Amino acid sequence: MSQMFKISLPDGSVREVPEGSTPADVAAAIGPGLAKAALAARIDGELVDLSRPFTADAELALVTARDEAEALQLARHDYAHVLAEAVQALFPGTQITFGPSTDDGFYYDFAPSPERGPFTEEDLPAIEEKMRAIIAADKPLRREVWSREQLVGRWQRQGESFKAEWAAELPGDEDLTVYWSGEDWLDMCRGPHLPSTGKLDPQAFKLTRVSGAYWRGDQKNAMLSRIYGTGWLNRKQLGAHLTRLEEAAKRDHRKLGGEMDLFHLQPEAHGSVFWHPKGYLIWRALESYMRRAIDDGGYREVKTPQVMDARQWEQSGHWGKYRENMFVIPDEAPNTEDEGPLVSDDADWMALKPMNCPAHVLIFRQGIKSYRDLPLRIYENGCCHRNEPHGALHGLMRVRQFTQDDAHIFCREDQIVAEVQAFCQLADRIYKDFGFTYAIKLALRPEKRFGTDAMWDQAEAELRDAVARAGLATREYGWEELPGEGAFYAPKLEWHLTDAIGRTWQVGTIQSDRVLPERLDASYIGEDGEKHRPVMLHRAIFGSYERFIGILIEHFAGRLPVWLAPVQAVVATIVSDADAYAGEVAARLKSAGIRVETDLRNEKINYKVREHSLKKVPHLLVVGKREAEESTVAVRTLGAEHQKVMGLDEAIAMLKAEAAPPDLR
């Protein structure tokens, strides 16, 4: 007689099933509708295939398309496998390597045969058709467990040298799992997978591009062909995603930055930005706005050196944990372990600063500090350099030289929660001034870290408490905790902004740090007359000026609020007889503090309107003979269907009000 297992379901009911039964059997017993809808299962919290047999009493939750996050991950994983099968069917001799799911799709890395050469985007339509054929065949996806020797041998016999290498080097002694697609194709994979390829929607995916990728991410290894795709549960989701991509392309800050003459990038300073006058006006407006905010918040602005002795970075801990991302002078400086000494006491290694915090500690250490001096809030628009990988650089979003709106708050233990709460309220006000909604997340201790568990327990609890006191640890603000994602020296709160087309951007942070003050010997004299360590709160709101400007450009699609627009108004003439009046209007606007230009060219007014609309000028003030005689202007506002004739004084008052930063209104 077979053993019976008790299977507990989410509704509290319990079903008894014989040994050898699977989640698919339970779904079928509940009803044919659920059996058809089920995609995978959770057994005691572990996501598994529907065909995985029960081995003991268990808690079971069936996964359907309603469980969108899990269902999407499963589908994208399967699309990657179907892609690999399709490529090998179409192009014999191609070797397979890795194929994970991504945030919006999947990719797979291939080693094409030397005769075939790298894949190109011209290959994608044929691959898509083959993928649809595999999906239509509704091939069962079946899991098997193989010994390492058995699997390595198979890969070697089939000429799959990359898979053989990976199978041989996987850590651990346990057997490995493979998944069959039907009876004629398999891949090495942990799973889980959908029950069959037919569970995928053949119209809910699209292959998007091809790129090069090094085997195992190492440029010393072979170059592979990576094929990217986007995959969804149904064609409606795919259509919505493609529409978002089209909108994102229109909003691309690199494209708009050129059209609006804001900045450019070029190889002579790869990873750094050449700001043009109009782009730097945006920067200056943001800088002025932030200075008013930090002045109101009791911060003291400082300026620190760009280059510091490597021993300072060694003492802070950055040399051991961050050396590969630092620009070192000379550049052959040693890469030591975390606590290891530099090669020679006589070496004169220097490094461009990748962050401002150690320098701010050195300012704090100048002179004796009393408990009465705390909290001390030190702010810097600090220019930093990080040696980001060449392939990771992306316009303003990922650069090697950037400026942070960086500050460090040195405070007593009893001041931490109040200081973090005040920062939360300041960040809330600033993000709302720019029209952003956001989510707050708490990044918890990573596996590799400085400090004791008790220190981390306290720091994490303080951040939770501060957010709760600020009224922001709620579902409305997307409160979430992220295990393992904190910095090596401190947990951190993160602000994730949502832009106009639903994308999220992680910008602001605050970190509660007891490690760096200890490592760099920062202290103050307490009320008891003894030395005490301050707690150091690392905080930023924009994150970096470069990236925040890029986000703003894309969020507003270049149509920046009037107070941020580099050119807030253009006075354009219809006829040359109005040139003198246009000059008078521009002079009045300039006196009122408006950033204004004139367009007196002998061009048709519709041409001028189109050109300045492309440059995203908020207001075009059109003047002709009539306007000159009546002291009026015809105001064409960007995006509005009709112009409005206004008296000059009224127009100036309107523009002056719109041009005032939010904190000055």
For the question of residue 81 being annotated catalytic, the response is no
* Residue 82 region by backbone torsions, left for phi larger than 0, else alpha for psi between -120 and 50, else beta: alpha
User: Would you give the end-to-end CA distance of the chain in angstroms?
Assistant: 81
Give the active site residue among 318, 492, 619, 636. Answer: 492
With CA atoms as reference, report the closest residue to 193 among 24, 10, 8: 24
Residue, of 380 and 116, whose pLDDT is higher:
380
With CA atoms as reference, report the closest residue to 137 among 222, 196, 54, 64: 196
Strands (E), 499-568: 504-513, 524-525, 531-532, 535-540
d(CA 155, CA 131) in angstroms, rounded, equals 23
Give the active site residue among 201, 406, 513, 599. Answer: 406
CB 141, CB 193: distance < 8 Å? yes
For the question of residue 404 being annotated catalytic, the response is yes
Q: What is the DSSP letter of 270?
A: T
Residue-wise pLDDT for 501-525, tens only, equals 888 999 999 999 888 999 999 999 9
Share of the chain above pLDDT 90, in %: 82
Q: What is the per-residue pLDDT for 331?
A: 60
User: C-alpha angle with apex 11: 9 to 16, nearest 5 degrees?
Assistant: 35
Q: What is the per-residue pLDDT for 155?
A: 95
Q: Given a cut of 80, is residue 347 above it in pLDDT?
A: no
Domain boundaries defined on the chain? 4-64, 69-240, 267-306+353-550, 569-664
Give the active site residue among 408, 547, 608, 636. Answer: 408
Q: Which residues contact 533 (CB under 8 A, 6 or more apart)?
A: 514, 517, 518, 522, 523
Q: Given a cut of 80, is residue 388 above it in pLDDT?
A: yes
Q: Mean pLDDT throughout 597-616?
A: 94
Q: Given a cut of 80, is residue 619 above it in pLDDT?
A: yes
Q: Given a cut of 70, is residue 342 above it in pLDDT?
A: no
Q: What is the per-residue pLDDT for 323?
A: 79
Strands 492-498 and 504-513: antiparallel
Q: Given a cut of 50, is residue 344 above it in pLDDT?
A: no
Q: Given a cut of 90, is residue 657 above it in pLDDT?
A: yes
Residue-wise pLDDT for 6-32, tens only, equals 999 999 999 999 999 999 999 999 999
**Cα→Cα distances 115→91, 119, 159, 502, 556, Å:** 10, 12, 15, 44, 48
Give the active site residue among 538, 547, 608, 615. Answer: 538
Q: Which residues contact 74 (CB under 8 A, 6 or more apart)?
A: 39, 40, 63, 192, 193, 194
Strands 535-540 and 531-532: unpaired
The architecture in CATH of the region 4-64 reads: Roll (3.10)
Q: Mean pLDDT throughout 423-436?
A: 94
With CA atoms as reference, report the closest residue to 663 among 434, 470, 491: 434
Give the active site residue among 88, 95, 404, 415. Answer: 404
For the question of residue 408 being annotated catalytic, the response is yes
d(CA 310, CA 354) in angstroms, rounded, equals 12
Judged by DSSP in three states, 444 sits in coil
d(CA 639, CA 623) in angstroms, rounded, equals 19
- Count CB-CB contacts under 10 A for residue 657: 11
Q: What is the per-residue pLDDT for 332?
A: 58
Helix axes 124-136, 68-90, angle to 10 degrees: 110
Q: Given a cut of 50, is residue 343 above it in pLDDT?
A: no
**Which of 231-240, 363-372, 449-458 shows the lowest per-residue confidence on average (mean pLDDT)?**
449-458
Task: Count the helix, strand and coil residues of the chain and give each as a percent rounded to the nearest 5.
Answer: 40, 25, 35
Q: Which of the listed CATH numbers 3.40.50.920, 1.10.1040.10, 3.30.565.10, 3.30.980.10 matches domain 69-240?
A: 3.30.980.10
Q: Which of the listed CATH numbers 3.30.200.20, 3.90.1170.50, 3.30.930.10, 3.40.50.2300 matches domain 267-306+353-550?
A: 3.30.930.10
For the question of residue 538 being annotated catalytic, the response is yes
Q: What are phi and psi of 484, to 5 degrees?
A: 80, 5
Q: What is the per-residue pLDDT for 398?
A: 94
- Burial of 428 (C-beta count, 10 Å sphere; 0-12/13-18/19+): middle
Judged by DSSP in three states, 225 sits in strand
Give the active site residue among 251, 385, 386, 555. Answer: 386
Confidence of residue 338 (pLDDT cuts 50, 70, 90): very low
Judged by DSSP in three states, 577 sits in helix
Q: What is the per-residue pLDDT for 335?
A: 55
Q: Mean pLDDT throughout 180-198?
A: 94
CB 534, CB 411: distance < 8 Å? yes
For the question of residue 555 being annotated catalytic, the response is no
Q: Mean pLDDT throughout 269-298?
A: 96
Judged by DSSP in three states, 300 sits in strand
Give the active site residue among 109, 123, 357, 555. Answer: 357
CATH 3.40.50.800 corresponds to the domain 569-664: yes
